[in-house]
Structure 1
Amino acid sequence: MSAGPGRRALVTGASRGIGQAVAVALAAAGHTVAGSARTVAATAEDGVIGVPCDMDDLSAVAALPARAAEALGGPVEILVHCAGITRPARVTDIALDDWDAVMRVNVTSALRLAQGCVPAMVDAGWGRVVTIGSLYSRMGGRFAGAYAASKHALLGLTRVLALELATKGVTANVVVPGWTDTEMVRAEARSVARANGYGEDEALRRFLRGQPLGRMVTPAEVAALVTFLCGDPAASITGQAINVDGGSLQS
């Protein structure tokens, strides 16, 4: 089945950073977009329909596909899961409450959204699922035990979904940003800086040592790849983890 502009999209984490950039880019590409976060007013002026939802509340997450469908005028055809949190700590110091929260927001909410959105995609014979991973989907990082574990899990979940949907007209891929200029990255820099006794700028400089591009990736650059994966030309791309990382990981 052919799919041009005008598809119905749900983007989580849409109030800032990568999620906001993705929601705006999909709307600019002609899709009707519901943007979800605890608050999404920041994207309203860009044509994104705000459908608030706290990804830490799995009951609210389970209800989100139906609420988005109501706002969009039909079932979700494009699901982009950008929402994510991190709780930096040494592995030996990770609090179980923090571990559970990171897994709930980063992985379990993605599962619940897929369970709510994918059946309608299969029925229609067309759909796109894109999850936002991280360099920590492929590697470890100091103080990132819970976050890295969650992003590894999200990658595995998406790849399995791709295999299960390969003959149904539905693709599932992971976009893997490098160090991206978002508030989450800057907050992580501040946390690492405090733990090591140096400043935020020094933490960012150390983050970027492994990013040959020499600068942070922009949210718009990540959003451009997501938008491509949500269109017809990407119909044969599924089960992939695609880096937008300035050359950090050449795999």
Structure 2
Amino acid sequence: MNVLAGRRAVITGGGTGIGLACARRLAAEGVETVLMGRDLDRLREAAGDIEAASAIRCDVTDDDSVKAAFEAAGAVDILVNNAGIVSAAAFHRTPMADWQRIQAVNVEGLVRCSQAVVGPMVRADYARIINIASIAGLRGGAYVAPYVASKHAVVGLTKSLSLEYAQTRMTVNAVCPGYVETEIVENSIANIMEKTGRTRDQALAELTKTNPQGRLIQVEEVAEAVAWLCSPLSGSVSGQAIAISGGAV
């Protein structure tokens, strides 16, 4: 019997990409997964292919939406804060609205969802919060300043919460991937092509050069790290920002 069988995980941004891969990987361990996001049709379609999965609409930027979603989800053993957005522009051309929009999702959304579960989690015999950050949360990055700032905040929050709740059975960790082969990265490639006139291969090379292995990370690789952090054998791992970046440091 899988040691995680019967646990319940909420995964924000669960309808595509890393979130969906995490749902599939955890389901393979017998975890009941709850996919949350803004596009309910997409979530339901994704959940339909995963055993013991359900879909709940949730806008992580809205207090009432988060409250209703987590009330509907019930008791949560694992929270994967995956919802996130990015945009690219020169710093001096980035409007304040873009800064606020990215922080609202990537930072404030994570805070809302974590606060929705942390009360019961600190009293539980097992609990995990895993934040999907980015290699951008460990170093800088040109033309994505709001995103970099948001992911640094996620890593900082991870470390702070791990210390604050170290005397409980809850662990809090961050996973920090490099460029992952997802819809977001496809959008980045399209953006590079549009703004620079480069071909798709040239735009892709611009992204993969940040990875010493010269490739995009696969969503399953990120999900595998998340699954390990959910394991009871990772109970002494907390406050860590684990890079999945092909050796980038």
**Fold match (TM-score > 0.5):** yes
TM-score, normalisation: structure 1: 0.92
Residue among 42, 48, 60 paired with 2:45: 42
Distance 1:62 1:150 in 2: 23
Other-structure match for 1:61: 66
1:24–1:43 CA contact under 8 A, matched in 2: no
2:181–2:219 CA contact under 8 A, matched in 1: yes
TM-aligned CA deviation for residue 109 of structure 1: 0.8
Partner amino acid for 1:181? E
Distance 1:25 1:134 in 2: 20
More displaced, 177-186 or 49-58? Answer: 49-58
Partner deviation per Cα, 1:189-223 (whole Å, 9 max, x = no partner)? 22133222323321210111121222211101100
Other-structure match for 1:195: 195
Partner amino acid for 1:54? D
Partner amino acid for 2:31? H
Other-structure match for 1:104: 104
SS state at 1:124 partner: coil
TM-aligned CA deviation for residue 95 of structure 1: 1.4
Other-structure match for 1:144: 144
Other-structure match for 1:22: 22
User: Is residue 128 of structure 2 the alignment partner of residue 123 of structure 1?
Assistant: no
Distance 1:96 1:136 in 2: 20
Distance 2:4 2:14 in 1: 23
Unaligned runs of 5+ in 2: none
1:64–1:113 CA contact under 8 A, matched in 2: no
Partner amino acid for 2:158? T
Distance 2:150 2:200 in 1: 25
The residue correspondences of 1:1-251 to structure 2 (distance < 5 A) are 4-39=4-39, 40-44=43-47, 45-47=49-51, 48-69=53-74, 75-249=75-249
SS state at 2:216 partner: coil
2:212–2:247 CA contact under 8 A, matched in 1: yes
2:137–2:155 CA contact under 8 A, matched in 1: yes
Distance 1:180 1:209 in 2: 13
Distance 1:57 1:29 in 2: 31
Distance 1:140 1:58 in 2: 31
Percent of residue pairs identical: 36
TM-score, normalisation: structure 2: 0.93
Partner deviation per Cα, 1:15-35 (whole Å, 9 max, x = no partner)? 110000001111111111101
Distance 1:67 1:49 in 2: 11
SS state at 2:101 partner: helix
Partner deviation per Cα, 1:107-140 (whole Å, 9 max, x = no partner)? 1011111111011011223210000011110122
Distance 1:131 1:21 in 2: 15
Other-structure match for 1:72: none
SS state at 1:51 partner: strand
TM-aligned CA deviation for residue 181 of structure 1: 0.4
SS state at 1:210 partner: coil
Alpha-carbon RMSD across the aligned residues, in angstroms, is: 1.3
TM-aligned CA deviation for residue 58 of structure 1: 3.5
Partner amino acid for 1:222? V
Distance 1:236 1:5 in 2: 21
Distance 2:156 2:130 in 1: 13
